[in-house]
Chain A
Amino acid sequence: AQSVTQLDSQVPVFEEAPVELRCNYSSSVSVYLFWYVQYPNQGLQLLLKYLSGSTLVESINGFEAEFNKSQTSFHLRKPSVHISDTAEYFCAVIRNSGNTPLVFGKGTRLSVIA
């Protein structure tokens, strides 16, 4: 079975400062990795995903995440955050075969302070 640990439940950060949201996973099989974002009063939407190839993946709004197989991590980073990045962020994993459901972490609430 897979599991996901998001090490920080809340991360406050000042506007234009860098941020890192940490995600570690556990799995005995190969997985795909995802970050989802949930803005206030909305459903979840995909931010970025790692399936294969380059271990560094980027989103269209400046976030990036790096897959580190040896450390079983998939941390999310942004060099300079905006007020509009305030949201809850979920890390998730799924087996790369067998059609099993996504397994989510408990989420990290990012609060960007002006």
Chain B
Amino acid sequence: DVKVTQSSRYLVKRTGEKVFLECVQDMDHENMFWYRQDPGLGLRLIYFSYDVKMKEKGDIPEGYSVSREKKERFSLILESASTNQTSMYLCASSRPVLAGVSDTQYFGPGTRLTVL
């Protein structure tokens, strides 16, 4: 059974703290993604990665960074957490999209982060 796991379901941090959100997939997927989900705004892409040590900015990368040292693990880092980063964070993984073939994007259960 395919699986994407996230290190925490709920997290509470203080403003200014450095926060690490970890995501691990066991499907040997090349692509990994970080989204944040907010009411009325849907899912917004923060960063994605097509391969180890590669990263691409999504729609809202400001205030975030990522790390992908191993194929199965993709970390999201909030260098100095702020209250406007309180949100649900979702990790996903997939195989590459090739012409005529598209694999499903699999999601983790999410981490609800509250920054006080």
Contact = CB atoms under 8 A, between A and B. Distances in A.
B102 A105 contact: no
A9 B38 CA distance: 13
B58 A101 contact: yes
A92 B83 CA distance: 29
Nearest to A52: B100
A106 B109 CA distance: 18
Contacts, number: 61
A43 B102 contact: no
Contact of B97 (A6, A9, A95): A95
B99 interface: yes
A57 interface: no
A102 interface: yes
Interface string B92-116: 1000111111101101111000000
A32 interface: yes
Given A42-B109, A44-B90, A49-B104, A97 B98 contact: yes
Nearest to A30: B99
Interface string B3-39: 0100000000000000000000000000101010000
A46 interface: yes
B45 A101 contact: yes
Given A43-B90, A94-B97, A99-B50, 5 more contacts: A32-B102, A43-B110, A90-B43, A96-B100, A106-B40
The 8 closest A-B pairs by CB, nearest first: A106-B42, A43-B107, A97-B99, A44-B107, A104-B43, A99-B96, A43-B109, A32-B102
Interface of B: 4, 31, 33, 35, 40-43, 45, 48, 50, 58, 90, 92, 96-102, 104-105, 107-110
18 contacts: A6-B42, A9-B40, A32-B97, A43-B4, A43-B108, A44-B92, A44-B107, A45-B107, A46-B104, A51-B101, A51-B102, A90-B42, A90-B43, A95-B97, A96-B97, A101-B33, A101-B45, A101-B48
